[in-house]
C-alpha cells in the first residue's frame, strides 16, 4: 500500500500485459504485402526482408494462445467502392498508374488472405478499408466489449498501418506495447525511424522474448482470476 492507503499501480510488464486485460493484435501479414506471389512481391518488392519479423510474430501468437491471451487479426480489405478520391489522387500525384497498387488486398482474392500466422476458428478478424484498424470498423467497440484495455501489437509495415493503428489506439486510451522485433518495414531505416517516433510519443517498446517471459510469470494469476470469475 502507498502512504495514502491506496493500492500501488502495477509496475511490471507481467502486470501490464496480464492475459485478463490484453490482446495481441497482428496487423496486415497478408499475401499481397508479405508473400512473393502477392501484389508487391510480383512488382519486385523484396518481401524477404519481412521474414525475421514475421517469424517473431508467429512465435508471439503461439505464446499468446498458450497463455490464453486473445489474438486479433487485422487485415486490409479493399474494394472499388472504398478506393477514396484522396487515395486515387495521391496515387496520381506520385506518378503511378491508377491500377498499379489500387487493387491491393481486394476482398475475396488470394492477396487479402493472411500468411503465417493465420487466424484460428473463433479468433477475431478485423477487416479495415484504411491504414488504421480503427477507421471504418467496430474495432474499438469490439475491444471494449471484451474488456481489453491493453494491446500488444506486431505486424507490417511499421511506418504505415502499424503506425496509424497504434497512434489511434493511444488516442482512444488503450495501453500500447509495440513488439519491435515482430514489426518490420521494407526498409530497415524506415522501420527504425518509425520506432523512434512511436516510442517518443505513444508506445512502450518490447521484444517477443520480453512478452513471452511476462506471460509465463503472470499466467497462474490469470488462471486463478478466470477460475474465480
Tell me if 6 is assigned to some domain.
no
Q: How confident is the model at residue 3, as a pLDDT?
A: 42
Tell me if 12 is assigned to some domain.
no
Q: Residue 118 is part of a domain; what is its CATH number?
A: 3.40.50.850
Catalytic residues: 28, 128, 161
Q: How confident is the model at residue 98, as a pLDDT?
A: 54
Q: How confident is the model at residue 225, as a pLDDT?
A: 52
**Could you give the number of structural domains in the chain?**
1
Taking the C-alpha atoms of residue 73 and residue 161, their distance in angstroms, rounded to an integer, is: 13
Q: How confident is the model at residue 220, as a pLDDT?
A: 53
Tell me if 4 is assigned to some domain.
no
Q: How confident is the model at residue 156, as a pLDDT?
A: 98
Tell me if 51 is assigned to some domain.
yes
Q: How many residues does the chain have?
A: 229
Residue-wise pLDDT for 178-228, tens only, equals 999 999 999 999 999 999 999 999 999 999 999 999 999 875 544 545 544
With both helix axes pointing from N to C terminus, report the angle between 208-228 and 51-66 in degrees, rounded to the nearest 10.
20
Q: How confident is the model at residue 137, as a pLDDT?
A: 97
Q: How confident is the model at residue 199, as a pLDDT?
A: 98
Tell me if 48 is assigned to some domain.
yes
Residue 178: domain span: 18-224
Long-range contacts of 39-43 (CB under 8 A, 24+ apart): 39/101, 39/103, 39/104, 39/105, 39/111, 40/104, 43/100, 43/101
* pLDDT tops 90 at residue 9: no
Question: Quick one: cell of 157?
Answer: 509495415
Tell me if 10 is assigned to some domain.
no
Tell me if 9 is assigned to some domain.
no
Residue-wise pLDDT for 67-108, tens only, equals 999 999 999 999 888 888 887 787 778 766 555 556 889 999
106 and 55 Cβ atoms separated by less than 8 Å: no
Q: How confident is the model at residue 6, as a pLDDT?
A: 47
Residue-wise pLDDT for 156-186, tens only, equals 999 999 999 999 999 999 999 999 999 999 9
Q: What is the mean pLDDT of the chain?
A: 90
| Predicted model pTM | 0.89
Tell me if 85 is assigned to some domain.
yes
Amino acid at each position: 500500500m502507498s502512504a495514502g492507503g491506496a493500492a500501488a499501480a502495477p509496475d511490471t510488464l507481467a502486470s501490464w500485459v496480464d492475459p485478463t486485460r490484453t490482446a495481441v493484435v497482428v496487423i496486415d501479414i497478408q499475401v499481397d504485402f508479405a508473400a512473393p506471389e502477392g501484389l508487391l512481391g510480383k512488382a519486385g518488392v523484396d518481401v524477404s526482408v519481412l521474414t525475421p519479423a514475421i517469424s517473431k510474430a508467429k512465435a508471439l501468437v503461439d505464446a499468446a494462445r498458450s497463455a490464453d491471451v486473445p489474438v486479433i487479426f487485422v487485415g486490409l480489405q479493399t474494394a472499388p467502392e472504398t478506393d477514396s478520391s484522396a487515395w486515387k489522387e495521391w496515387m496520381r500525384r506520385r506518378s503511378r498508374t491508377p491500377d498499379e497498387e489500387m487493387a491491393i488486398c481486394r476482398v475475396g482474392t488470394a492477396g487479402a488472405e493472411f500468411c503465417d500466422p493465420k487466424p484460428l476458428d473463433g479468433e477475431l478478424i478485423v477487416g479495415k478499408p484504411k491504414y488504421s484498424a480503427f477507421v471504418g470498423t467496430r474495432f474499438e467497440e469490439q475491444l471494449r466489449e471484451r474488456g481489453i484495455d491493453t494491446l500488444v501489437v506486431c505486424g507490417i509495415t511499421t511506418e504505415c498501418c502499424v503506425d496509424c493503428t497504434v497512434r489511434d489506439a493511444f488516442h482512444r486510451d488503450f495501453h500500447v506495447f509495440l513488439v519491435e522485433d515482430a514489426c518490420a518495414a521494407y526498409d530497415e531505416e524506415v522501420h527504425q525511424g518509425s520506432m523512434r517516433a512511436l516510442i517518443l510519443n505513444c508506445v512502450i517498446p518490447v521484444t517477443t522474448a520480453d512478452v513471452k517471459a511476462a506471460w509465463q510469470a503472470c499466467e497462474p494469476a490469470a488462471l486463478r482470476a478466470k477460475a474465480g470469475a
